[in-house]
Every structure is written in C-alpha cells, then in structure tokens.
Amino acid sequence: MNAIEVRDLHKTYYGFLRRSKIEALKGVSVSVKQGEIFGLLGPNGAGKTTLIKILLGIAFADRGKALLLGRDSRDPRARLHVGYLPEDHQLPEYLKAWRALDFLAKLYGMHKRRSRVEELLQLVGIAERRNSKVKEFSKGMRQRLGIAQALLNNPKVLILDEPTANLDPLGRKDVKDLLLHLKDQGTTVFISSHVLTEIERVCDRVAILHKGQLLTEGTVDELTREKSLEDVFVELIRGAESLETV
C-alpha cells in the first residue's frame, strides 16, 4: 500500500457567479511510497497547496481520487495517521516552546502530554530551549517547533507545505537534517516547495507541477543525470510556457 495515492485529480475554482474560473489541478496523478521523502515542486500558483488541501480533506476535488494510507481522503479516519504543517503557519509568540506544544496536546485531548512534548522537543533538537518564548526563536527554530506540532499525533505521513520558503541557509539546514532524521525513523514525508536546490538533497523522488499539470516525475538521481534539478525545472517550465503562447 502506498502512503499517498493521487489519481487524475481535477479542481477548478470559480469566481463570483461563475464569471471566472481557475483550473488549479488538471488531472494530476502522484504516488508516494511508505518511508519516502517526496517533493512536490512548482512555482507559485502551480496548485501545490490545492493538492495538499484535497489530500487532507480540507478541499474537495471535482474529479479523481486521493488516498492516504489506502483510505479515501474524504474519510476522516484517513487523517488519523497524518501530520500537517500549513504554509505560513503561526505559533503563539508569548508561550514558551514546551507550553506551545503542551497547549495543542491539550486541545487534542492527549494523555501523557508532558512526556510526549519532551520527546518531541528532543526529536526536533530544541529541548535545551524548551523554556524560551516562541518570539525569541529564529525562523529555523520556529519551523522545527512547527514540525514538532505536526508530529504530536505520531503520524505515519507528514505533510509539509513550503516548510523552507522563508528560511535562511541555516534554517533550511535545520529543516533538512530533521527531515532526514524522520525518514530514518520510518516516517513518510510529503513536502511542497518552490525552493529547489534545498530539496534536491533530501528527496527520494520529486514531481514538478506547473499550472495544474505534472511536467515530470522521478527519482532525483534520474532527473539530475545530465543537469541540475534547477536546470530541469526551468527548462520544463519555459518549455510549457512557450507551448502556451504558440
């Protein structure tokens, strides 16, 4: 069974009185094996967040199927084993790191909160800053805390929407190391990004999405045999755009 299975997904957003429409996904299929780090790459507006929202049952597809660990993403039980970090997430600035996690654990009605929170602070490498307030954290550390929050329910599949978008090189290194650590522990990671060079090093496989369509998919080794992933990305997107203008 694949961790994620997306088949022929279509999604159109309509404007007021259907006077305008945007085809965000035009028949996208993707499969992610368990234990893999998968990167969904694409420029802004490609449809990455839309695909993630459908996977999480927050948005609904017009056509096609999305399965999480074999279950239809519209079934709430599909989300039991999934952790999610949204794009531009916010953390409570005036809470100490451990309390920010404890607060969420309480909302989830979790038992043995203290030990789980401590375990997560250790896992994401910020245990020694457990008593610092979130507002004192660097962006990389905030992202680590955000990922800890997404891991509260000990998910088998972790979905991160643009986790490295606003990070400096140190912050990106933090997140990269953490993703590799999670992979070692057997977690499947699905990550979306438009920051290319960073992703290339941690993903087992990537797909490139542009204007709702997949342009290519494969292992990073396959795609980068002759050129860098960045060159593959730019050439495919320029190629697709020149076809549109013919």
Ligand X SMILES: Nc1ncnc2c1ncn2[C@@H]1O[C@H](COP(=O)(O)OP(=O)(O)O)[C@@H](O)[C@H]1O
Question: How many whole angstroms from its chain centre is CA 78?
Answer: 16
When the beta carbons of 148 and 208 are compared against ligand X, the nearer one is: 208
Side by side, the strands of the sheet bearing 63-68 are 21-32, 4-14, 63-68, 71-72
Residues numbered 31 to 60 that lie near ligand X (CB under 6 A) are 42, 44-50
When the beta carbons of 71 and 194 are compared against ligand X, the nearer one is: 194
Question: How many whole angstroms from its chain centre is CA 3?
Answer: 14
Is residue 79 a contact point for ligand X (CB under 6 A)? no
Q: Largest Cα–Cα distance of the chain, in whole Å?
A: 61
Q: How far apart are the first and last CA of the chain?
A: 42
Residues 6+ apart with CB under 8 A from 6: 28, 29, 30, 31, 51, 54, 55, 64, 65, 66, 67
Is residue 163 a contact point for ligand X (CB under 6 A)? no
Is residue 49 a contact point for Mg ion (CB under 5 A)? yes
Q: Whole-number minimum distance, CB 48 to Mg ion, in Å?
A: 5
Total binding residues toward Mg ion, as defined by CB under 5 A: 2
Say how many C-beta atoms besides its own lie within 10 A of residue 119's C-beta.
Answer: 15
Is residue 22 a contact point for ligand X (CB under 6 A)? yes
Is residue 242 a contact point for ligand X (CB under 6 A)? no
When the beta carbons of 46 and 206 are compared against ligand X, the nearer one is: 46
When the beta carbons of 35 and 45 are compared against Mg ion, the nearer one is: 45
Q: What is the binding site for ligand X (CB under 6 A)?
A: 13, 22, 24, 42, 44-50
- The footprint of Mg ion (CB under 5 A) covers 48-49
